[in-house]
Structure 1
Amino acid sequence: MTDTEGVDPAAETESLAAWLTARTDAELAELLRLRPDLAVPPPAHLAVLAARAEQRASVLRAADELTVLELTVIGILSQEGGRERGVPRAALTAAVAGRAPVRSVDKALKALRDRALVWGAKVLRVTPAAQDAVTWRVDAPRDALTAAEIESALAELSDTERRLLTTLATSSPIGRTRDAAPGTDPERPVQRLLARRLLNWIDEQTVELPYQVGQALRGETVSDPAALTPPPIRATKLKVADVNAAAGGEVLELVRHCEDLIAALGAQPAATLKAGGLGVRETKRLAKAVGVDEARLGLLAEVLAAADLIGRGTPDPLPAADTGDDYWAPTVAVDSWQTTTPAQRWHVLAQAWLDLPRRPWVVGMRDEHGKPIAALSEEVRATGAPRDRRFVLGLLAELGTGQGATASEVAATVAWRRPRWSARFGADAVRHTLAEAATLGLVGRGALSSPGRSLLHDAPAESAVAEMAASLPAPIDYVLLQADLTVVAPGPLTPELQEQIALVADLESAGAATTYRIGESSVRRALDAGLSASELHTLFATRSRTPVPQSLTYLIDDVARRHGRLRAGVAASFVRCEDPALLAEVLASPVAEPLALRALAPTVAISQAPLAEVLDQLRTAGFVPAGEDSSGAIVDLRPRGSRVMRRRARPAPRMPAVPTAEQLETLVRQLRAGQRAASATRGDGVRSDGSRASGAATVALLQLAARVHRSVSIGYVDAQGVATERIVDPVSVGGGQLDAFDPAAGAVRRFTLHRITSVNLVD
């Protein structure tokens, strides 16, 4: 875009409403797409749309999506008088000369015009409320300290100096003090801070906290707002196969830990706190059972709850020491999830995390009262978390396939692209988000993985699952038996073999090569589940790539020889044994009394206790019974764990919905029709009584009254729909609001412009 010098600002004095009227239908549709809050409820005509577009809340919401350059353009235009008289395009070019390419400035202006924050061509105007979106001085000194220099200087501060800076960082950066005057003792705190350049001198009574120093004190990413070009990312080129392999390895660990947490909660549901969430004691217990630290335990719990695999309620069966409270336990959905492939299980977890309106990484941190934040508590909720995750992953996606970046580089880019996010999404938040993405397999070695890219771009579930299946190591169908009765799985086992090995051996260490150990108790567990000694011999003979140790053969035969000599059934339950002496020993033991065992024959006794309780107490007493059904076949009575019913999903936070293309077209047609109707009925905007009716005329008359200090009579409809007539003295008009002194109330009141039905000057 080119501009001529010496443009008269009065040459383009059109209002925002007039400028919007001249826009094409496509441009109006783009405005409503970028600022969906303007369309709710649908505006009657373009004057209403313009009034909404200037309201402070809507302007600040739109400004959250702007870059440093775009916000700087707003700041320059506001500073140069763009709110009242307009600024020539050439003046803006001169203000940013040497700091940003002309093409970038043109692109920034287009983004601002698309959002109706700036309008005009050769003469630019900015909506008044937009100035409040710029949180730094656009004319601040450009020789600011670097992040390292700020960190070093802050480390040398005294407590008094740090408190002074913290006060300015958490309130207004402008401070009034007599210690700023020249000649003040150089050892005074303000003078020492000025000497270290941690404060800027304004005048003899005023100092200012530099923007970057405030960022450092608040824990935000330290960035230079004077830099109008995005920070560079030195992308690291990686092999896609290596990225996917790293992501696949993390997914195997994730799925295993989730299964272990589900098993731990099934065996012993965790009582909830009164305020919701997991208590410290339960968190420590579960972390120990799963073999992870408490931070990872918090992430696992949050993701499983989001995927509806664990839930809060009354479990069935109830814990032995039931307190009457709600518990966190697996839901009935777990059983079907556990039968799917690892890639399908990953997709459920990853999709739940991507859409999770919570921040699991805050679990364990201290709240404002100094108490640790509990997993699954309300304090973890953050409605903007899904948007933040997608934005960070989107930055990695922009780098290209196999391109990686460090967390600090991503944080610096986020700070430049979205400077108004810095208060809630600083460097720590970016680092934790990337760490969670790596744990979920969306990121590997600092680059977006192929499954993560599919998930981010909302590809069909089958596509993302196929990408992850290709990234996971191919399952193997063999193990390596060692002489010390350990079983080594040199990779992920097939589901069938995994289930068999987990039944006959105990997990000893997990990783790329998983190690299991076979012992008497694990062999007995397999026999209890219905496997015979010959089946165990066949399992190891056919699935082991190494010779079966003779000690394992002896162990299986020895345990099998003793196993099942004593059998229990349902009478309520019964106990039978081919050896009368062994049954007599059982009847004479202390366990016979609580089980109420009664002999029916030398080889048969019955009990009124349930079969599971009979087996459990006999084993506790040192016997090795086996359960059988009515046909004499061994039955598997292992506990399946507690379950809770799935609860109705909590409704997602209500956010302004982005209209579809068809809805936007319809809305624009309605706006055009409403505008024609308003023009036809209002004519030049002057009623017979001299009052003004159109939106633009209303604003013009109110601005005139404010300048010449005239009272006006306004017709106003409040939020309850009550129409009133009142006389007020306008003070200021802008941002879709009228601030006016109301003599009846004796105070300045604020009126929404589009609710004003008529305006008339009062003599």
Structure 2
Amino acid sequence: MPATSLAEWLRSVSDDELAALLTARRDLATPPPADSTVLATRAGSAGSVARALEDFDTFTLAVLDALLLADADTEVVSREIITRLLGADPGPALDRLRERVVAWGTDDAIRVVPAARDVVGPFPAGLGASVPELADADLDSIGSDEHAVLAALAAGPPVGRTRDAGRDVPLDEAATPIQRLLARGLLLRRDDSTVELPREIGIALRGGRSCSPGALAEPELPVNPHSQATVDETAAGEALEFLRLTESLLGQWSAQPPPVLKSGGLGVRELRKLARELEVDDARATLLAELVTGAGLVADSQTTTPEWVPTTLTDSWLASPPAQRWLTLAQAWLDLPRLPGLAGQRDAKDKPLVPLTDELRRPGAPAARRRALEALAGLAPGAGVKGAEDLVTVLAWRAPRRGGRLRDETVRWTLAEAAALGVTALGAVTTATRALLAGDRAATLTAMTDAMPEPIDHVLVQADLTVVAPGPLEPELAGQIKTVADVESSGHATVYRVTETSVRRALDAGRTADELHELFRTRSATPVPQSLSYLIDDVARRHGRLRGGVAGSFLRCDDEVLLAEVLGNPVAADCELRRIAPTVLISPLPLAEVLDVLRTAGFAPAAEGPDGRVLDLRPAGRRIPPRTGGNRRPPPAPTAGPDQIAAVITRLRSGDSVATRRKGTEVRLPGGGGGSDTAATLALLARASREQREVWIGFVDSHGTASQRILTPARVGGGILLSTDDESYPLHRITSAALVED
């Protein structure tokens, strides 16, 4: 006998089917439902149904529309009716609806949860109200203008607003297509300004189907074949360029951190300055700023005048191999809960959205990126999509209800950002990206390392004082060249220029003239021009004649003998004192610390200010650091594993058993037991244990949640009831008990 309710249907399915349902619709398992009736109620709620529909493709939703057109939410419908409406076999789409319990029942008696109509809307499949007498309406006799109106409404939605619906006009007096269609009965008047296309007319204009032919099959995704090696090498080149731009950004922001806007984010002026200095467009500059922040390489300084400043992670990132640096950025991009592509658009107040603001935050962005990349990963190795719009169309067909208004734009942004980052190339995912999507970091690093060109150990010094790097340099050599030369142009080959300023920079960094001569002599594959040697020697000859240093405090005294006594005391070493003039000593330590040490040694120094007056350096009182609010991302919601799902199913089955089994005389324990009630309960449970009979109990767990169980007692004693399935129940938590009648 077929199930007459959803709860009854859920009781009849297997544990594996229940597990698949609870895994796919995770909201149904939290909190664990007490029985199938509770599960059915939860599965039929509008919010839960709406979430379930987000995973369905266009054809599955077309099958659901056909079920609603056949009123499957109020009466049983056969599969043949759905096949006739669709003009195709519902096949696996109907099974998916039943697996997610949006529909249920056998092929001869299919039902849909009533909330599905509220979620889908008043016009399933974009069709209007049914007028059965129009099923055989003659549409060949109407004019082309009338046919155009009907065709527009048949595409959906089936309602339209018009000034021609105000009154009934006989056919021979009708002057407009709308009036003629109303007179023929081919349109329905809803009010003085609204008309509706009857369902039967819409189906006839769609070729006898409730849906358009495009809904029946997924659009084909045109691809261009490439070798996987070509894709990997092309992407590696883009990755190296992106790493170079990231290094340049970090260098610029280390020297001149941009300010944080009062409303948060990076100002338009600062963004354009960054784009100009990096020689990229605003979109690429935005992506770079968002990624270095998302990867933790840059953060808000949170000072009185906050700035975007590189963090301590920057140094370790710069010292890492290129593949590791790329992986850090690629992983940050994949997990970034923001949409950089929104930058530059206008908000509701017509103000431009700027990078690094909360307005760009979209928690669903990581899932949308993975969805686009996984679609590419599902193609043959090396196969790349011909255009972004083709992928947009396919993904829209696969999940038309997911992503909201930014669904298509997010796909376009994802493809553009992935290509810039070297995650994709030529429209195809790389070997490293496939490993990244699978969560295999070791394989990702190996694949990207193999794809990147081998670093070279030499440069080409030209007579015009330019230095050409014909490829990526070894990290040590790259650092040395960047110290003594400035980047003039970049690409597959980087051109540096040596100038007086760049040589002075190298000398300031501690390099000597001999070391610079040795660098170019040993690392240049071409002869070192004499002009470069002259430049280095000339700058070195003038460098360092005037010197400066840093001191934390000073001591001065007109009595040179007293200063000599201080230098001869052990405290001089403790304070790192050094004489720079007959009457002046300096120390790198703070003044207050130096004075305390001198006073301990028996001296009586005093502190003075810039104007020579004595200062009081005693602390003004206890200080605490300012409190800052937490800005951490909330942890992801925990997902139920197989063990938790199995426990939920066990509870469901137990609850169903309780609801369907008859129980004998009940022993109730007010307040959880006590007195004669406890003795009666123990006697009943002991009897059930001896006779191995099932017993029904009311139970309150440690969280205060009441439930009912049916079990067979194995042992009763020590304040514990132990069942034959090794579950234990404290007696003080059992509120009532009764033998189960056969």
TM-score (norm 2): 0.69
Is this contact kept in 1: 2:241–2:491, CA < 8 A?
A: yes
- Equivalents in 2 of 1:679, 1:185: separation in Å? 68
Q: Report whether the alignment pairs 1:469 with 2:459.
A: no
* Residue of structure 2 in register with 1:276 after alignment: 264
- Equivalents in 1 of 2:101, 2:658: separation in Å? 23
For residue 16 of structure 1, the aligned residue among 6, 26, 31 is: 6
For residue 246 of structure 1, the aligned residue among 234, 240, 243 is: 234
Q: Report whether the alignment pairs 1:235 with 2:223.
A: yes
* Residue of structure 2 in register with 1:670 after alignment: 651
* Residue of structure 1 in register with 2:98 after alignment: 113
Cα gap change, 1:225 to 1:354, in 2 (>3 Å): farther
Q: Report whether the alignment pairs 1:47 with 2:34.
A: no
Residue 44 (structure 1) shift: 0.7
State how 1:325-724 maps to structure 2 within 5 Å.
325-405=305-385, 406-421=387-402, 423-459=404-440, 461-569=441-549, 650-652=632-634, 655=637, 657-680=638-661
Amino acid at match of 1:273: L
Cα gap change, 1:268 to 1:184, in 2 (>3 Å): farther
- Equivalents in 1 of 2:430, 2:550: separation in Å? 55
Is this contact kept in 2: 1:278–1:375, CA < 8 A?
A: yes
For residue 71 of structure 2, the aligned residue among 76, 81, 89 is: 81
SS in 1 for 2:352: coil
* Residue of structure 1 in register with 2:252 after alignment: 264
Cα gap change, 1:520 to 1:392, in 2 (>3 Å): same
Is this contact kept in 2: 1:264–1:290, CA < 8 A?
A: no
* Residue of structure 2 in register with 1:128 after alignment: 114
Residue 177 (structure 1) shift: 3.3
- Equivalents in 2 of 1:179, 1:540: separation in Å? 86
State how 1:713-752 maps to structure 2 within 5 Å.
none
- Equivalents in 2 of 1:382, 1:653: separation in Å? 15
Is this contact kept in 2: 1:174–1:209, CA < 8 A?
A: yes
SS in 1 for 2:320: coil
- Equivalents in 2 of 1:486, 1:209: separation in Å? 75
Cα gap change, 1:607 to 1:93, in 2 (>3 Å): farther
Residue 36 (structure 1) shift: 0.1
Is this contact kept in 1: 2:489–2:496, CA < 8 A?
A: yes
Q: Report whether the alignment pairs 1:138 with 2:125.
A: yes
Is this contact kept in 1: 2:287–2:340, CA < 8 A?
A: yes
Q: How many residues align?
A: 552
Aligned-pair Cα RMSD in Å: 3.4
Cα gap change, 1:678 to 1:363, in 2 (>3 Å): same
* Residue of structure 1 in register with 2:288 after alignment: 300
- Equivalents in 1 of 2:585, 2:461: separation in Å? 42
- Equivalents in 1 of 2:321, 2:222: separation in Å? 37
Cα gap change, 1:66 to 1:572, in 2 (>3 Å): closer
Q: Spell out, residue by residue over 1:60-80, the C-alpha distance to the aligned partner (whole angstroms, 9 max, x if none).
A: 011011111111111111111
Residue 607 (structure 1) shift: 11
Amino acid at match of 1:52: R
Cα gap change, 1:536 to 1:52, in 2 (>3 Å): same
Q: Report whether the alignment pairs 1:94 with 2:84.
A: yes
Amino acid at match of 2:332: A
- Equivalents in 2 of 1:667, 1:245: separation in Å? 49
SS in 2 for 1:410: helix
Is this contact kept in 1: 2:368–2:403, CA < 8 A?
A: no
Is this contact kept in 2: 1:239–1:402, CA < 8 A?
A: yes
SS in 2 for 1:270: coil
Structure 2: 5+ residue runs without aligned partners?
129-151, 199-210, 555-578, 590-626, 665-703, 705-742
SS in 1 for 2:439: coil
Residue 203 (structure 1) shift: 5.0
Amino acid at match of 1:114: E
- Equivalents in 2 of 1:139, 1:556: separation in Å? 78
Q: Report whether the alignment pairs 1:35 with 2:25.
A: yes
- Equivalents in 2 of 1:202, 1:231: separation in Å? 34
SS in 1 for 2:487: strand
Is this contact kept in 1: 2:29–2:645, CA < 8 A?
A: no
Amino acid at match of 1:391: R
Is this contact kept in 1: 2:294–2:336, CA < 8 A?
A: yes
Amino acid at match of 1:379: E
- Equivalents in 2 of 1:494, 1:605: separation in Å? 51
Is this contact kept in 2: 1:442–1:453, CA < 8 A?
A: no
Residue 658 (structure 1) shift: 3.1
* Residue of structure 2 in register with 1:709 after alignment: none
- Equivalents in 2 of 1:487, 1:131: separation in Å? 71
Is this contact kept in 1: 2:189–2:195, CA < 8 A?
A: yes
For residue 25 of structure 1, the aligned residue among 5, 12, 15 is: 15
Structure 1: 5+ residue runs without aligned partners?
1-10, 142-164, 195-199, 211-222, 316-323, 575-598, 612-644, 684-720, 722-763
TM-score (norm 1): 0.67
Cα gap change, 1:314 to 1:27, in 2 (>3 Å): same
State how 1:178-197 maps to structure 2 within 5 Å.
178-180=163-165
Residue 207 (structure 1) shift: 4.3
Amino acid at match of 1:438: A
Cα gap change, 1:671 to 1:241, in 2 (>3 Å): same
SS in 2 for 1:271: coil
- Equivalents in 1 of 2:291, 2:497: separation in Å? 31
Q: Spell out, residue by residue over 1:165-221, the C-alpha distance to the aligned partner (whole angstroms, 9 max, x if none).
A: 9xx99xx873443325777766x9x99xx9xxxxx96558544699xxxxxxxxxxx
Residue 397 (structure 1) shift: 1.1
SS in 2 for 1:249: helix
Residue 26 (structure 1) shift: 0.5
SS in 2 for 1:508: strand
Structure with greater contact order relative to length (CA < 8 Å, sep ≥ 6): 1
